[in-house]
Structure 1
Amino acid sequence: MNKLIILDRDGVINQDSDDYVKSLDEWHPIPGSIEAIARLTKAGFLVAVATNQSGVARGYFTEQTLHDMNKKMLDLVEEAGGSIDAIAYCPHGPEDHCDCRKPAPGLIYQIEEKLHHKAQGAFFVGDSLRDLEAAREAGCYPILVASGKGQRTLEKLADTAFAEVPVFDDLAAFTDNLLKNI
Structure 2
Amino acid sequence: MHKAVFLDRDGVINEVKTKRVKFVNQPEQFYFLDGVAESIKKLNDHGYEVFVVTNQGGVGLKYMSERTLEEIHDYMVSALEEKGAMITEVKACTHRPDEGCDCRKPEAGMIKDLVKKYDIDIEQSYMIGDREPDIKAGLSAGLKSLMVVGRSTLAYKNFRNLKEAVEWILDN
Question: Scaled by the length of structure 1, what TM-score is found?
Answer: 0.86
Q: Is the 8 A contact 2:2 2:49 kept in 1?
A: no
2:50 counterpart residue number:
47
1:72 counterpart residue number:
75
Query: Structure 1: how far apart are the matches of 2:78 and 2:120?
Result: 24
Matching residue's letter, 2:166: T
The aligned length equals: 169
Counting aligned pairs with the same residue, the percent is 33
Query: Structure 2: how far apart are the matches of 1:120 and 1:96?
Result: 31
CA drift at 1:120 = 4.9
Alignment of 1:171 onto 2:154 = no
| Cα deviation 1:105-158 (Å, max 9, x = unaligned) | 001012123323243551100000000101111100010001xxx3xxx2xx4x
Query: Structure 2: how far apart are the matches of 1:144 and 1:131?
Result: 8
Matching residue's letter, 1:45: Y
1:13 counterpart residue number:
13
Q: Is the 8 A contact 1:49 1:87 kept in 2?
A: yes
Task: Please give the secondary structure, in 1, of the residue aligned with 2:44.
Answer: helix
Gaps of 5+ in 2: none
Q: Over the residues paired in the alignment, what is the CA RMSD in angstroms?
A: 1.9
CA drift at 1:176 = 2.0
Q: Is the 8 A contact 1:40 1:47 kept in 2?
A: yes
Query: Structure 1: how far apart are the matches of 2:97 and 2:57?
Result: 8
Inter-CA distance 121–93: structure 2 relative to 1 (3 Å threshold): farther
Candidates 134, 137, 141, aligned match of 1:134:
137
CA drift at 1:82 = 2.0
Gaps of 5+ in 1: none
| Cα deviation 1:150-173 (Å, max 9, x = unaligned) | 3xxx2xx4xx5x1x6311111111
2:4 counterpart residue number:
4
Matching residue's letter, 1:8: D
Query: Structure 2: how far apart are the matches of 1:165 and 1:118?
Result: 18
Candidates 77, 82, 101, aligned match of 1:98:
101
Query: Structure 2: how far apart are the matches of 1:85 and 1:114?
Result: 11
Query: Structure 2: how far apart are the matches of 1:78 and 1:9?
Result: 16
Higher mean C-alpha deviation, range 88-97 or range 110-119: 110-119
Candidates 51, 61, 65, aligned match of 1:62:
65
